[in-house]
Structure 1
Amino acid sequence: MRSRVLCGLGAAVALLAAGCGSSASSGGSAAPAGSSAAAGAAYPVTVADCAGNGTTFTSAPKKIVTSNAASLEMLFWLGAGDKVIGTGFPPGAGTMPAQFAAQAAKVPVLGQTVIPKEKLLGSGADLYVDTFASMGSMGGALGSAPTEQEFAAAGIKHVYLHSTACAKTLKGPMQDLSPVEGDIRTLGAVTGTGAKADQLVAGMEQKVGAVRKDLAGLAPAQEPSYFFFDYDAGTKQPMAECDKQVANAVITLAGARNVYGDCDGDFKPVSWEDVVAKDPDWIQLGVRNRGSDAATRQAFDQAEQFLKTFPATAGLKAVQQGHFVRIGSEVTTIAGVRNADTVQQIAHVIHPDLVKDGQ
């Protein structure tokens, strides 16, 4: 395997499971233009890393390890979940789509967070799907990642989800889901499930296309301002979802203006004073699934109650008007098939007269 120049990871540790962002408008594809992966052709398939270096597959991998639940879920959607022999950052209870929950629960957990280097290299995998970028940028707190030479020596091919791993190498904001769709197509090409990948992407494009059609007459000045409040990242200091995060694309496609869409990067710690100055029209209560509808609903209630009682936010326009969006963090900030559903759901909540379908 050719050596790579890894792109950095700017997300905070508390938000690792959500990854970093990418850019649709900057040419952020999952494989070089004209490559076999981009075209969905048969083997050999060549996939690029963040720096454009290629990894070639002459056949489908037989044993796959995923870095977290995002890439794991993509493989389930593609029908390649039976090839997965382990994962890091395992999905929490209730976070996987119902049809994959039982299968996901059987996947061996190689690390509750980042998979330890020795365990990853000794896993027996022939492919590691990496949702993140180099763990070296995390300051070593979560352990060091294998080098590309170490991956090669262990017989493991290493590919990235571009929609979450390549923010630092791309230019321009992420305003649509093409990077996510590119990742789905690339994994489809690598695992020999290209037809299913095309089907999944077509479904996503149909849902988003319907929303965009409904919002076609909406002028930019009519788009409400929108703040994603990551309640689970902590309330002491809010975390902004910037222009290269998947959430920025989801919010934009839903007909809203991310109040931190001018922040260059993926995530950024901000101050409550700054949030107050932006005074958003709508606030999404960013809550992770708690494993049951009742527990998740309680977490949403707690997030809303915090904003209503915290002196700095009690007077915000969205709080005063009760403009809260109760849609989970995972389907908003983590790249996946369900991002298209989230676009539809957010648009239905904030533009109910224009977008009738919120399924």
Structure 2
Amino acid sequence: MRKYLYVCIGIIAFCSKSALAYPVTVKSCGTDVKIEHQPRRAVIHDINMAEMAFSLHLQPYIYGLTGISGWNTPSKDFKQQQGRIPEIATRYPTLEQLVASQTDFFFAGWNYGMRIGGDVTPETLAQQGIPSVVLSESCLRAGGKLELPTLDLLYNDEIRLGIIFNREELARKLVENWKGRVENIRIRLRKIYNIKVFLYDSGEDQPFTAGRYALASELMRLSGGVNIFDDLQTNWGVVSWESVAMREPDVILMVDYGKGVEQKLEFLRHNSLMKENAAVKNNKIYIVHYDDMTPSPQNIPAIEKMALFFHPEMMK
């Protein structure tokens, strides 16, 4: 049996070499959540949070996934990592589904599997004896403090999962590796001028995009760009095509959900307000995936790839 040495600062005073002592307590949107035992029938919502779990090799402890195929077409790599883990709800799960699955831990977020006033919330789950942890980036949707997002949102959530599943040492090693890769990009881009970036998620009448409090805005900054809607006082929201055109983005990031990219490209090329934009005319459009722009391990390679696209001359 593989043995680990854990340092559990702020969680418990001491961990043995063989296993973490339960219960453990972690923070979720500022609230203490007690985990009585290592989860064995966990349910994880959405591709990005599933990838956080997969990076810690938690598949043996995951009973099911939710919210995967309802919006996205999973990659071959994701499907391979998923293996035989079933998807128990293609979109948001119901409380009945989670109870029927004998779920003993749920990892999701506000507007990532849970809705304010919905039947699946930390409170309704707790009433059924199911502990849950909320994706940190989503806390502001439930009245959390407005703070500019940083990659600490990803790093801390990964370490928190490591603590919950007795994988803290591995989680901390992953995070240190990620930090090193991001620092390398920062050094290489330290003397560049940030270009203007528009993230086009979806929508034709009104585009849906990232605002000031979306982690995507920080990912753009770390890649040598600036979100043209950095003054939009939300994480994700709708704007107008007139405002996009007036702000004259140098580059457009287009989110690929596994289908519809060509349709969105054609829409931009024929949109009366966008067809003369320099990014559209010069094909300065970079395709990103949903999990590139939401908190996930894919954030790190996404930063590296976007930096190369934004500033190829500086990344050689």
Query: 1:333-352 counterparts in 2 under 5 A?
Result: 334-352=294-312
Q: Does 1:187 align with 2:161?
A: yes
Paired residue for 1:35? 10
Displacement of 1:57 in angstroms is 2.5
Q: Does 1:102 align with 2:80?
A: yes
| Equivalent pair of 1:49/1:160 in contact (CA under 8 Å) | yes
What does the per-residue CA deviation read over 1:130-172, in whole Å, with 9 as the maximum and x for residues that have no partner?
A: 23268443xx7xx522562x42343211111112344541223
Displacement of 1:239 in angstroms is 0.8
Paired residue for 2:4? none
Q: Does 1:86 align with 2:64?
A: yes
| Equivalent pair of 2:221/2:227 in contact (CA under 8 Å) | yes
Displacement of 1:93 in angstroms is 7.0
C-alpha separation in 2, matches of 1:172 and 1:165: 10
Q: Does 1:253 align with 2:232?
A: no
Paired residue for 1:46? 25
C-alpha separation in 2, matches of 1:330 and 1:267: 15
RMSD: 2.5
- 2:43 match: secondary structure: strand
Q: Structure 1 residues 178, 97: closer, same or farther in 2, change over 3 A?
A: farther
What does the per-residue CA deviation read over 1:308-351, in whole Å, with 9 as the maximum and x for residues that have no partner?
A: 1111111112112321112223312x211110110110000011
**What percent identity do the matched residue pairs reach?**
22
Stretches of 4+ moved more than 6 A in 1?
A: none
- Which of residues 197, 211, 217 is equivalent to 1:226? 197
- Which of residues 74, 93, 97 is equivalent to 1:119? 97
- Which of residues 268, 273, 286 is equivalent to 1:312? 273
Report the number of matched residues.
301
- 1:283 match: secondary structure: strand
- Tell me the amino acid that sits aligned with residue 245 of structure 1: A
C-alpha separation in 2, matches of 1:178 and 1:228: 22
Q: Structure 1 residues 68, 165: closer, same or farther in 2, change over 3 A?
A: farther
C-alpha separation in 2, matches of 1:147 and 1:161: 12
Displacement of 1:58 in angstroms is 4.3
Using structure 2 for the length normalisation, give the TM-score: 0.86
| Equivalent pair of 1:67/1:132 in contact (CA under 8 Å) | no
Displacement of 1:305 in angstroms is 2.5
C-alpha separation in 2, matches of 1:273 and 1:287: 23
Using structure 1 for the length normalisation, give the TM-score: 0.77
Paired residue for 2:40? 62
- 1:210 match: secondary structure: helix
| More strand as a share of residues | 2
- Tell me the amino acid that sits aligned with residue 286 of structure 1: V
What does the per-residue CA deviation read over 1:54-96, in whole Å, with 9 as the maximum and x for residues that have no partner?
A: 0122432111011222222211111112211122202577534
Displacement of 1:265 in angstroms is 1.4
C-alpha separation in 1, matches of 2:186 and 2:229: 22
- Which of residues 158, 175, 182 is equivalent to 1:208? 182
C-alpha separation in 2, matches of 1:242 and 1:120: 32
